[in-house]
Chain A
Amino acid sequence: NAGVTQTPKFQVLKTGQSMTLQCAQDMNHNSMYWYRQDPGMGLRLIYYSASEGTTDKGEVPNGYNVSRLNKREFSLRLESAAPSQTSVYFCASRASGIEQFFGPGTRLTVL
């Protein structure tokens, strides 16, 4: 099992450009999450999906949209990137238990 995978690993955007971060899990987990990690700020929840077909806002959803394409895939879209969105983005998934399993992260720079 690959666990949780994310693409791309690195990305540089110019202000105003759009892009989609991809996340997939092969553990048959129901719940999936998108976090951003900034220095000194810990992990902050952007959006989550408790099950296929549902999505909900987290702490910092502004400027982002998500799609739960199917049970395996949960994508994060930046419609018009801003320098404040420069961050490391982590996807995570969870089964019916409590533990969240994280992907390797995507390092995004917005110039």
Chain B
Amino acid sequence: GENVEQHPSTLSVQEGDSAVIKCTYSDSASNYFPWYKQELGKRPQLIIDIRSNVGEKKDQRIAVTLNKTAKHFSLHITETQPEDSAVYFCAAPMNSGYSTLTFGKGTMLLVSP
């Protein structure tokens, strides 16, 4: 099965700075990598994902990059705002296909005003 490692476990930045969260995966056949955001006391929600046929995907202030050779992918948040404070989870397919996901252990991002 897939193994996903996520770093760092906590990240503190000043408002306006950039934040980068990195994940590595073990199964070279994995081809879909979503990122979920979980605000305090709320449910996880998908914020962006990337498939293995592209190297980068952007959506306003967030972007995800994928390096298939090195088996790692990263979430980039630019111009951080206090409302970006949350726990972020990366994930990868647990087995072939998309039916189940293995999640990283999460990164708590704190953006200070």
> Chain A interface (Cβ within 8 Å of chain B)?
31, 33, 40-45, 48, 50, 58-59, 90, 94, 98-100, 102-105
Which residues from B are CB-within-8-Å of A104?
A: 42-43
A98 touches which one: B9, B49, B89, B104 (CB < 8 A)? B49
Across the interface, do A98 and B100 meet the contact criterion of CB distance under 8 Å? Answer: no
CA gap between A30 and B42 in the complex, in Å: 24
B9 contact from A33, A40, A105, Cβ within 8 A: A40
User: How far apart are B97's CB and chain A's nearest CB, in angstroms?
Assistant: 10
In the complex, A103 Cα to B49 Cα: how many Å? 20
Question: Quick one: which of A58, A90, A94, A98 contacts B44, CB cutoff 8 A?
Answer: A90
Residue in contact with A100 in the complex, picked from B9, B46, B102, B104, CB distance below 8 Å: B46
Q: At the interface, yes or no: B72 with Cβ under 8 Å from chain A?
A: no
**Separation of A44 and B91 alpha carbons in the complex (Å):** 11
Given known contacts A50-B99, A58-B100, A43 and B89 CB-to-CB distance under 8 angstroms: yes
- Expressed in whole angstroms, the Cα–Cα distance for A62 and B112 within the complex equals 41
The reply to whether B46 and A99 contact each other, CB–CB distance below 8 Å, is: yes
B94, A45: Cβ atoms under 8 Å? yes
